[in-house]
Structures are given as structure tokens and as C-alpha cells.
Structure 1
Amino acid sequence: MIFGVLNQKGGVGKTTLSVNLAASLTRAGARVLLIDADPQGSALDWAAAREGDPLFSVAGFPRPSIHKEIGQIGHGYDHIVIDGPPRVTDLARSAIMAADIVVIPVQPSPYDIWAAEEVVKLIEEARIYKENIKSVFVINRKITNTAIGRDVREALAAYPVPVLQAVITQRVIFAEAAAHGQAVFELDANGPATAEVEAVATELMGYAQ
């Protein structure tokens, strides 16, 4: 399965979600490749910060030919997670074309909800060439007990894209893990952040069937 994690707005936690999704799939016993398709190279920075053996393979490929070369790049892997670029570019279009399911992280903010329109349009364009592409919103960095945190699901209903029931809450542990090139389960295997990531991964796998 190929997951493309994309949003045309920066700062939505795209790399954090990509890394922890890849880690969760690896933890479940799969062989996983994380492709860093963002020219900023945040996933590569994460991998470089890690001490010890890597959890999974990380490869930088910020080129608009991902969809043409994904078969060769990802040969032998059970799952591929693409950490996509910000902004509407040929690179973003290529990452969408390469994906089986496009995962759109959205923070509970009006700006994020408005910005989601761009990536939804890109997915609709891609369906002309690859009609079986699936897409889904993931509410990321949700702040508990806030009105906007509760209302974001209703606001996203305006788009023709489903919203996962599982959400990722804003927690310090995500930043702490990232600083050391780790996944949250390595810091707290039974904690709430790990449980949220596992729930997102499980729901995504079910949705992708």
C-alpha cells in the first residue's frame, strides 16, 4: 500500500504523521519505506538525528517523477509512505499519482480547512488519470476541549473526502521524539500518543482495503 501524506499548507504536522505512520506499520511487522518528497528534507533530518539502527528505510526523492519510478524505488516493501511537498507543484501532483490513498492532515484551524481545498482539487485532477485513488482527512494536532477542535469535523464535511474517526492530539511527546529521530512508541509504548497513532494506522489500513 502506498500512502501519500500531503497538504498544501505548511505546519500541519505532515512529517510527524508520516514518520509515526511508517513506524506504526513497521511495528506491526511490515517492511516499510518512507520517501521524503519534500525539498526541505524534514524526514531525512529526522532519520539523521537518530542514534542506533533505523526503524525503517528513509529515502529522499524530491522529484516530479515519483509516480513513474515508485515501482522500482519501492520494490520489496510492503508499504510506502510518501512525505509530500507543500504547495501545488508538479512534485505534489506526482506524489498524488503515486499513491493508493492520499492522507491529508488538517489542524483544527480555519486556515487549514480553507487550504485543504487545494489538495482536494489536485486529487480530483489526478482521478482523470488514476480513477481508483482514495483520499481521507486526518485531524492532526487537535487541542482537546476547544470549540474549534470539536467543529473541525463538521467544517470538513463540505469536502467530498471522508474524515477518519481517529485523531492525533497535540502533545509534547511528538516533538521530543522527533528531536531524537524516534517514533512516539519508542518513548512511551503504551501512552496516549502511541494509541492515537496506532488507531490512525489501523483505520487507514481498513479504509485502504
Structure 2
Amino acid sequence: MSRTLALAVTLWLAAYARASALTAPIPANARQCYYADVDKAGEKLGFYFAVQSGGSFDIDFEVKDPNGKILLIGQRERQGDYVFTANHIGEYEFCFENDMSTLTEKLVDFDIMVESEPRRDVPLKPGQIADQTSALEESIYRLNNMLMKIKRTQQYFHTRENRGFSTVVSTQSRIFWYAVFQTLTVVGMALFQVYILQAFFTATGRRYKV
């Protein structure tokens, strides 16, 4: 009985929400769009993104409904977490634009989630079965909310780790090239001093006939 109940809960949760988690590189001066289908009006759309690496960790984004109306727009955003109601049936467009960078590629993690807004109606059966079903649904909703919070926390720490690693790599590269430049400068100054001293002693050692 418990296995059957667990299987039913799993299938119900799978039918309740549809989500896609992706990691996409956005080249410099490029625009990339992704799409999500909404089957009926009133569904919830969740949109989360975070720039993992590249430049100042920022990106432009835009969300449009099937009629081409702009629902969300942002410029030079590092990350965002949005939930809104889809009022129209059709294909919703989620675009990232990296026009502010002429050379740097951006790596973006993002989730697009489609889920039904209204809850499933409790069966109108008198007695204990209806009460148990209602309590089970409430437990499922609470569990789903907790899992979503854990997922967002994991994504936050994942983003922080990637940004920290990118900063460390960039700092190491700058230190390396600064050390190379400093070494070349010291060697160049030493050679220049040798040349000046050699030229000075050569000039003072000359003999001129009158």
C-alpha cells in the first residue's frame, strides 16, 4: 500500500510541474532565446537565472508572451528569480542578450518552470478518505515548497562558487602577467644601465688629436 501511495504521489508531482534546468554559453554580441509552452491560461511560469562566469557577471534578458508583449526585461542583471501567471496559451519566449560585451562570453544557468496554479480539487467523499487526501495534499505542497527553497539555496551557493572560482582564475592571470611585465622591466632597465655605463666610459677614454 505504501509503495502504491508513493508512486501515486510521484506521478502527481510530475504532472503538476514541468521544468528545465540548462547551462548555456552566450557569446559576445549574441542573443539567444528559449521557449516554454503553456497549455492553458492561468498556469504559473517560474524563471530563474544566474550568470556563472564572464565579465562582470551580468546579462540582459527579456521575457515575452505568445502575443509578443514584453512581460519582464532587465539590463546588466547578475541573477533573477521570477514567478508570474501566464494569461495566454502558447509559446513564451525567454531571451538572453550579451551586447554589452565585445569579447567576453557569458555562462548562464537558468530554470524555466511551468506549473498549474489552481490546486487539485479534493474528492467530495464523506468520511476519513477525504480527510486523508486533503492532509496528504497539504503535506505534498509543504514538501514541494521546502524542496524549492533547498534548490534555490543550492543554486545560490553554486553561483557563488563559480563566481569565486572565476575571480580567482582572473586574479591569478593578472598576477602572472604583472610578474612577467615586472621581470621584463627589470631586465630592460639593467640592460639600459649597462649600455649607458659602457657608452660613458667609451666616451671618456677617447683621445682627440689637435
Q: What is the TM-score when the length of structure 1 is the normalising length? A: 0.27
- Structure with bigger strand share is 2
